[in-house]
């Protein structure tokens, strides 16, 4: 008999056949796959429960036991995936940021594929994508913009805004100067204000119009910023090269 094998009788025959351990190994692989899927499902259930509770009650009024109960999970499962309630909130924030970035990238890509070459118009399309995403996931957008959040979250949000302002400045070719960064920060603040308007339930009926208006107003400001940032020193704003053309083009 070979090592690692056992003898068994074949059905209807008297001759023995060798059965190796391979079938049990495959069974273990299937079990591991099931366990991985089960664990991932538990993690997603915890995230979904946390999203509901944080948006319903605010961060401070939610306990880990509340999340576990809503998810139908166990405390052990919670701490297997997240170190604390704050870690859970941070994961929701990362997912929100990723969704916003994807919406912006897709909207900008669609504008370019449609033949749009103007940098300001492409940027405005990205802004529209962000605002539409804020509406589609308005519960999270409202939580992160105006809801009750962890004590140190404001610093995290400021860092995110600074990154987005830098991205916008580069997209619009604003100068890497104090003036250029100021314009970029103003534009990012305008987008944030637009997101707040988009998640306001009273704006639901005029959502599409509001989003378009906000995006193009921001684009008009972006055109002004780009022109002023590249104007020669001491040149009055009204005579800065390209200023009139930028405003007229995005406002048409």
- Identify the three-state secondary structure at position 19: strand
- Identify the three-state secondary structure at position 8: strand
What's the topology of domain 22-83?
Answer: Arc Repressor Mutant, subunit A (1.10.10)
Provide mean pLDDT across the span 17-46: 56
What are the pLDDT digits (tens) for 104-160?
A: 999 999 999 999 998 888 988 898 899 889 988 989 999 998 888 998 899 999 999
CA distances from 13 to 6, 8, 17, 212 (A): 17, 11, 10, 78
What is the DSSP secondary structure assignment for residue 10, as one 8-state letter? P
Q: How many CB atoms lie within 10 A of CB 224?
A: 19
What are the pLDDT digits (tens) for 155-179?
A: 999 999 999 999 988 888 887 888 8
Kindly report the pTM of this predicted structure: 0.70
Query: Measured between alpha carbons, how far is 6 from 16 in angstroms, rounded to an integer?
Result: 9
Domain boundaries, the chain: 22-83, 93-251
pLDDT higher than threshold 50 for residue 12: no
């Amino acid at each position: 008999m070979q090592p690692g094998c056992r003898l068994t009788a074949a059905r209807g025959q008297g001759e023995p056949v060798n059965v190796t351990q391979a079938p049990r190994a495959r069974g273990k692989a299937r079990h591991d796959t099931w366990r991985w899927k089960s664990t991932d499902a538990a993690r997603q259930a915890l995230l979904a429960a946390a999203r509901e509770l944080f948006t319903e009650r605010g961060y401070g009024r939610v306990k880990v036991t509340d999340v576990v109960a809503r998810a139908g999970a166990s405390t052990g499962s919670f701490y297997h995936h997240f170190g604390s309630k704050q870690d859970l909130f941070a994961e929701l924030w990362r997912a929100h940021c990723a969704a916003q970035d994807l919406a912006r990238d897709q909207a900008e890509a669609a504008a370019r594929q449609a033949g749009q070459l103007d940098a300001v118009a492409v940027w405005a399309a990205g802004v529209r994508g962000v605002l539409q995403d804020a509406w589609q996931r308005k519960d999270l957008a409202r939580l992160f913009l105006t809801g009750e959040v962890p004590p140190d979250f404001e610093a995290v949000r400021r860092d995110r805004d600074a990154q987005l302002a830098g991205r916008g400045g580069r997209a619009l070719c604003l100068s890497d100067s104090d003036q250029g960064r100021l314009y970029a920060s103003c534009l990012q603040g305008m987008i944030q204000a637009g997101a707040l308007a988009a998640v306001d339930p009273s704006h639901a009926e005029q959502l599409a119009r509001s989003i378009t208006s906000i995006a193009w107003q921001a684009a008009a400001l972006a055109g002004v910023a780009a022109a002023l940032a590249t104007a020669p020193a001491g040149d009055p704003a009204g005579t800065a090269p390209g200023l009139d053309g930028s405003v007229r083009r995005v406002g048409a």
